[in-house]
Amino acid sequence: MEVDLSRIRPYGDTLDDGYMQLSFTLPVQCDAKAKKAAELLSEKMGLQDVKVVYAHNIADSFSFFIVYGRCIHSVDMTAINIPEVDVEFMSYDEINGFIEKHIGRKVVVVAACTGTDAHTVGIDAIISMKGYRGESGLERYPWFVTYNLGSQVANEDLVAKAIEVNADAILVSQVVTQRNIHIDNLTHLAELVEAEGIRDKVLLVMGGPRISHELAIELGYDAGFGPGTLPSHVGSFIAQALARRIRDSKEQQRGCIHE
């Protein structure tokens, strides 16, 4: 099977047949006209050979459709460039060893679920002793000092805490993303960190089920971690990024002296 990465399209039953399924609801009663509307809408979305395989009346004034069709579009995958977190994943012992060797002191992390978000699942998975998927959270690492401020923390309080404890990294978790509330909140935090003049002192890291590294970079963060992230992933990143920063700033200082 020869896959042309410059023209990639869905695979249903044979290469390049473009088959895909979708389902949606239209706010009208389910009749022949509604079904035709669903078909036309699907065609507008770039499907051909559209089959409305299921149409069902929901509560008199809505109709639900399941549709199959062949996608006429294709995508050039060779032109895609996605920013990925620059990190080499290490184990618990490796991370502790790395910090001891390259940083030489404990790394201070403050973490919180900010804004109105009350879901601490993500931040607890990364920080708490219990951790996630059998991996301990950063709290257990001897070379990390962690402050988990919990949920519904104001950005101002998070930044104040970071300054108070001289944090190396701020971890912020966002679970609720309805109406893109997380974007406003994360942007606000980045601005605050900047305004307080500590942006070059702390690593800004975001996480959550709808978070990507791409989004993190876009909003001026150092890294973003999505679902399935383990404590050691975050720990590896913080250790390596911090070591890099320390090394860079030393080199810069040397540079200054030479001048």
Beta bridge partners of 101: none
String marking each residue 16-55 x if it binds other proteins according to CB under 8 A: -------xxx------------------------------
Could you say which of 2, 13, 60, 259 contacts other proteins (CB under 8 A)?
60
The residue type found at 31 is D
CB of 72 to other proteins, least distance (A): 25
Could you say which of 1, 32, 59, 257 contacts other proteins (CB under 8 A)?
59
Closest CA relative to residue 207, chosen from 192, 222, 188: 222
Nearer to other proteins, 131 or 224 (CB): 131
161 is catalytic: no
User: Which parts of 84-113 interact with other proteins (CB under 8 A)?
Assistant: none
> Residue 61 interacts with other proteins (CB under 8 A)?
yes
String marking each residue 176-215 x if it binds other proteins according to CB under 8 A: x-xx-x---------------------------x------
Is 30 buried (19+), middle (13-18) or exposed (0-12) by CB count in 10 A? buried
Cα–chain center distance at 86: 14
Cα–chain center distance at 254: 36
Give whole-number Cα distances, 5 to 10, 11, 61, 69, 129, in Å.
Answer: 12, 13, 44, 22, 44
Q: Which of 33, 36, 101, 130 is catalytic?
A: 130
Cα–chain center distance at 125: 15
Question: Binding residues for other proteins, per CB under 8 A?
Answer: 23-25, 56, 58-62, 64, 116-118, 120-121, 124-125, 128, 130, 150-152, 176, 178-179, 181, 209, 227
